[in-house]
Amino acid sequence: MMEYLRKLLEVENSNLGRLLWFGLYGLEATLNQAVKEFPFDPGVEECDRLLQELHNVLQSPPVLSLPESQPQLQPEFRLTHLRDAFSSDPELNFYLDNTQLLSQTDADVWNEIHRKLLRVPEDLATSWQQKAFDLVQEVGTVPDYRNLVELPFIRDEVIYPGLSGSVKAKGLCLSQKALLDADIFQSHPSQEIDIHLLMGFVLLYIKFIEIDPDLHHALKTVFGFDVISFAQKPEQRHQYIQALSDRWERTQKTQDNPDVVINLRAWIDMDEAIHSLLFVPPAERYSWWGKLQQESRRVLKKVADKAIKAGNNIRIRQLSGLYADICPFSKDDLQLDCGGTPGEVLTCLRIYARINQEENPGRVIFRKSR
């Protein structure tokens, strides 16, 4: 079927081709919205494949012969200096491995730069954000703290502002109201702030996966042999989201279980799913993204302390440092040839835990030695 759609789109100056083009765009938009509304629908995976095919078809627009007096006009690109400065910064390249930007519009450049800054140390991100503010003001553009896309979470926080003036772009913010208004929040009422945090992670991750093509996952139960790019393997997106959601459901249900060890095991699984959403190279520990994920680990420590007070022999450990030192405490680890220091752990996907003399190995991603 897709073959015939392409053939019609390739017919030069065809009104039918143009009608088909706009119809397919409408279908793509409708299906994308439907996936957002029903992320756990059993047909989501097939829908994702269909969306990928539609995307491929829409890469070939209808062929139009424009008169010589009507040349196609390209939009003026005002943030070239900002894009070039970012791409040539050696300190950013150390943390990101590749600072080359793929964006083709000013608004996309602004967003791509600031999403990448979420992965570098906070002091570097702050200084670079100020530099970006100074550079955009040179072309009559100013930061706009009201033009924001809201992402559901347990608190309100501006992640980065949008732009107004000669360039208009949306920024990002965390929104507690967006969390409270979500259907999943309404159907799973709970007074536990820690459960709200996990629910916030689920909804926030779903949104982030939609907007950031650089995201990967390394969740062993979904695919255990490599770090997987959602851009290259779009079918993995819904498999990861489903696994994350299932683990949140299990954790939420164990809150009423009198066996605190069962509750602890569920939190360890949930924390692993949270830390398994990552970038390549993984975000620096003291970046915005790194600090966000550490919120899960702090709650996990509270759950472990509760199990200890109940009389259990519990030890948990976040694995870091030289890989040679921690590998006896981990299993099924993954290695990358970028980021960090050769021979060191880049990120701890799953903590090591000893629960009443039972050893539960952790899992890490490390930088292979030269």
Count of CB atoms within 10 A of residue 57's CB? 18
CA distance 248 to 307: 19
Q: What is the pLDDT of residue 268?
A: 98
In whole angstroms, what is the distance from residue 271 CA to residue 294 CA?
9
How far, in Å, CA of 95 to CA of 274, rounded? 21
- Under 8 Å CB-to-CB from 62, ≥6 apart: which residues? 9, 11, 14, 17, 18, 20, 21
d(CA 297, CA 271) in angstroms, rounded, equals 7
Cα–Cα distance for residue pair 202/274, rounded to 1 Å: 8
Sign of CA dihedral 301, 305, 306, 312: positive
Query: Backbone dihedral region of 53: left (phi > 0), alpha (psi from -120 to 50 degrees) or beta?
Result: alpha
According to the model, what pLDDT value does residue 74 have? Answer: 45
Q: Per-residue b/e over 313-345, b at no fewer than 16 CB within 10 Å? A: ebebebbeeebeebeebbeebbebeebbeeebb
Phi, psi dihedral angles at 35 (to 5 degrees):
-65, -35
Beta pairing partners, 152: 175
Which pair of tokens denotes residue 279?
Answer: 């970038």
Beta-bridged to residue 352, according to DSSP, are 317
Task: Give the pLDDT of residue 190.
Answer: 62
- The DSSP H or E segment spanning 367 is strand 363-367
Q: How far apart are CA 91 and CA 157, in angstroms?
A: 27
Q: Alpha-carbon distance 122 to 286, whole Å? A: 6
* Global pTM exceeds 0.75: yes
Can you say whether the dihedral through the CA atoms of 268, 269, 272, 273 is positive or negative?
Answer: negative
Q: pLDDT truncated to tens, each residue of the chain (370 aa)?
A: 667 767 776 776 666 665 675 567 567 666 766 766 666 677 877 877 787 777 677 655 555 443 444 444 345 689 999 999 999 999 999 999 988 898 989 999 999 999 999 999 999 999 999 999 999 999 999 999 999 999 999 999 999 999 999 999 999 999 999 998 887 766 666 667 888 899 999 999 999 999 999 999 999 999 999 999 999 999 999 999 999 999 999 999 898 888 999 999 999 999 999 999 999 999 999 999 999 999 999 999 999 999 999 999 999 999 999 999 999 999 999 999 999 999 999 999 999 999 999 999 999 999 988 7
Under 8 Å between Cβ of 282 and 253: no
Longest dimension (CA), the chain: 83
